[in-house]
Amino acid sequence: MGTGEGLNKFMQIMRSDMNVIEATLQTEESGNKIASLQGECSGYRSLCKELENCGWPNYAERKETMQTFFKYDAEREKWVCTTSNYATLLEWETYALDVEEALDEARGKMEKRLNDRKDWLFYRAKKGRDLYFSRGWYKRFIALGEWAVAIHDAFQTAKKIHDSELKFDEED
């Protein structure tokens, strides 16, 4: 098991997102949007439970938060990193590796949970609202892995820019 520092930081960002989602649920009027937000809350709790089953702390009970720099791009249906600062991304690259290690340990149980959700949706879901709930659940359940990929992508882009700036300086 890794140090857990990266997982702790990612889960603090997730908790911050969940605070916003829970506040939004209090005022949302659209039934489909409510179902999606409720699904995200459920996906967060499921993710916390799976991590706890693998020996990590119960993140659902923690209240620490951290400012997020991830946003969901609905058009591309994927999470993206909103920072391009090389120093920040260099630090977070190591956190992303820590998160991937933690997720690798939980992968089997998480895949079973995902398959159970798909089976529930296919065989038991009765209303269109169930689809929105499941999509929200899935979006939040897989967010950590997608955040790690977003960090890797942003880091590689920032590294290329950083390296090209260094080469330019050397030529002078």
Average pLDDT, the chain: 87
Q: For residues 132 and 35, is the Cβ–Cβ distance under 8 A? A: yes
User: C-alpha dihedral over 127, 132, 133, 137, to 10 degrees?
Assistant: 150
Sign of CA dihedral 103, 153, 9, 134: negative
Q: Residues 124-154: pLDDT tens digits?
A: 878 888 888 988 999 998 898 999 999 999 9
What pLDDT, on a 0 to 100 scale, did the predictor assign at position 107?
80
pTM: 0.82
High-pLDDT (> 90) share of the chain, %: 35
* pLDDT beyond 50 at 33: yes
> pLDDT (tens digit, 9 = 90+) per residue, 39-72?
999 999 999 988 888 888 889 888 999 988 898 8
Residue labelled with tokens 């400012």: 67
Q: Are 145 and 103 in contact (CB under 8 A)?
A: yes
Instruction: Reply yes or no on whether the pLDDT at 121 is more than 60.
Output: yes
pLDDT confidence band for 119 (50 / 70 / 90): confident
- Which 3 state secondary structure label does DSSP give 66? coil
